[in-house]
């Protein structure tokens, strides 16, 4: 039995900490010795209320979006390059401010694609992007048409989570499709809101192994506006995305099985209060994991020592009550990526940290 298709998750995802020095064109090198050139870098200052910064190789190295803002894409010196084993930060305070502490999360896609829908017969809206079938991750750029259509996502498996942003409009929130919520609902990455229901976001159509659907909503398909979509599929032993668990309001909280020792977890309750909460394997590098950052807020890191979460060999274990991870009967959606698979393809088990 194959336990995983990825024995070394660091080939596709890494977390990195650094302290800013205010300089320009500073190389941030991953701690691991083996190389991984990222296609998507998401960073956040830990000790200061700077906005999140999201940059990818499809839009261009200096094209800024923020998960906590509805703002349109802008050009800043946040990321200046995607390197063979890391990335280069510019002199923007939000990525390299002097004496500020930062965390960055990086994903590798890698294979570029261009799809002329009328020529290939795949989808109805042209798309370009970068995709990794192995890692179940793609970055997709498309231009809205205003009419319901389908878009090639570059994967051969069905995405369970899709995060979409209008790059040209500063009034439209980030929209998130998840398999848990289904194709009639959307939830917002930049807000703490509960999901909304509507047929015009995803056209009431579940993604397939080749395309995802958008309706006529201006927020996912405004005519002539440029959009970016981050698409994620489950990969055994490496990623769990768009899934869910139910809180139990118990100090011996819910255990969430992922099939791997996590390196990154982002959680959101399907209610209107708790934020999108991010924890990772660097903050700190041991259990409990008790420093929170919020995808929909510029706030500095929150000391969550009263609400600990343990990363264990096959998932994560919540160790206390609290609305952000463990309210009674509340459904939480999450995405998680691995530090190590629970068992490698050759049968070697990992252990909790």
Amino acid 118: pLDDT: 97
Cα 271 to Cα 84, 90, 193, 196, 330, distances in angstroms: 41, 37, 7, 11, 8
Asked if the model's pLDDT at residue 1 lies above 80, the reply is no
What is the pLDDT, as a whole number, of residue 273? 85
Task: Decide: helix, strand or coil at residue 119.
Answer: helix
What is the reported pLDDT for 123?
A: 98
Mean pLDDT, range 197-211, rounded to an integer: 98
Question: Regarding predicted confidence, which is higher, 138 or 4?
Answer: 138
Query: Dihedral (C-alpha) 305, 306, 307, 311: value to the nearest 10 degrees?
Result: 40
Question: For the chain, how many residues are written?
Answer: 353
Q: Is the peptide bond before 111 cis (omega within 30 degrees of 0)?
A: no
The residue behind tokens 């463990």 is 326
pLDDT score at 353: 75
Query: What number of CA atoms fall less than 13 Å from residue 180's CA on the CB side?
Result: 21
Confidence of residue 112 (pLDDT cuts 50, 70, 90): very high
- Percent of the chain's residues with pLDDT above 70: 99
The angle at the Cα of 175, spanning 170 to 180, to the nearest 5 degrees, equals 170
With 90 as the cut, is the pLDDT of residue 287 above it?
yes
pTM score, whole prediction: 0.97
Residue 130 banded pLDDT, cuts 50, 70, 90: very high
Q: How far apart are CA 285 and CA 311, in angstroms?
A: 10
Q: What is the pLDDT of residue 351?
A: 76
Give the pLDDT band (50/70/90) at residue 233. Answer: very high
> What's the rounded mean pLDDT across residues 254-283?
96
Phi, psi for residue 134 in degrees, rounded to 5: -60, -45
pLDDT at 2: 62
pLDDT at 320: 93
pLDDT one-digit tens code per residue, 90-111? 999 999 999 999 999 999 998 9
Mean pLDDT throughout 149-176? 98
What is the rounded CA–CA span in Å between residue 24 and residue 300?
23
Is the pLDDT assigned to residue 140 strictly greater than 70?
A: yes
> What pLDDT sits at residue 346?
81
Mean residue pLDDT across the chain = 96
* Mean pLDDT on 27-32: 96
Cα separation, 58 vs 189, in Å, equals: 20
Q: Which of 143, 127, 126 is nearest to 225 (CA)?
A: 143
């Amino acid at each position: 039995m194959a336990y995983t298709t990825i024995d070394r998750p660091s080939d596709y995802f890494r977390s990195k900490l650094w302290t800013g020095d205010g300089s320009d064109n500073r190389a941030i090198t991953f701690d691991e010795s083996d190389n991984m050139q990222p296609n998507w870098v998401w960073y956040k200052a830990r000790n200061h209320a700077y906005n999140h910064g999201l940059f990818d190789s499809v839009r261009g190295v200096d094209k800024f979006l923020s998960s906590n803002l509805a703002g349109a894409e802008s050009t800043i010196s946040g990321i200046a390059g995607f390197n063979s084993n890391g990335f280069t930060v510019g002199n923007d305070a939000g990525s390299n401010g002097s004496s500020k502490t930062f965390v960055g999360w990086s994903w590798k896609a890698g294979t570029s694609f261009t799809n002329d829908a009328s020529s290939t017969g795949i989808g109805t809206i042209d798309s370009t992007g970068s995709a990794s079938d192995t890692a179940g991750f793609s970055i997709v750029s498309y231009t809205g048409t205003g009419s319901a259509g389908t878009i090639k996502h570059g994967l051969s498996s069905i995405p369970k989570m899709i995060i979409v942003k209008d790059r040209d409009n500063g009034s439209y929130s980030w929209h998130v499709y998840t398999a848990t919520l289904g194709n009639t609902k959307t939830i917002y990455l930049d807000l703490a809101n509960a999901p909304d229901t509507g047929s015009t976001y995803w056209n009431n159509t579940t993604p397939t192994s080749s395309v995802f659907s958008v309706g006529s909503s201006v927020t996912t398909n405004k005519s002539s506006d440029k959009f970016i979509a981050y698409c994620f599929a489950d990969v055994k032993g490496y990623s769990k995305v768009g899934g869910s668990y139910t809180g139990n309001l118990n100090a011996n909280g819910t255990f969430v099985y992922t099939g791997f020792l996590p390196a990154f977890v982002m959680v959101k309750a399907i209610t209107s209060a708790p934020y999108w909460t991010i924890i990772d394997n660097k903050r700190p590098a041991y259990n409990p994991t008790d420093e929170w950052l919020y995808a929909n807020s510029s706030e500095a890191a929150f000391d969550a020592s009263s609400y600990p979460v343990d990363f264990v060999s096959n998932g994560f274990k919540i160790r206390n009550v609290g609305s952000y991870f463990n309210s009674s009967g509340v459904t939480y959606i999450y995405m998680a990526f691995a530090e190590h698979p629970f068992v490698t393809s050759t049968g070697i088990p990992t252990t909790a940290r």
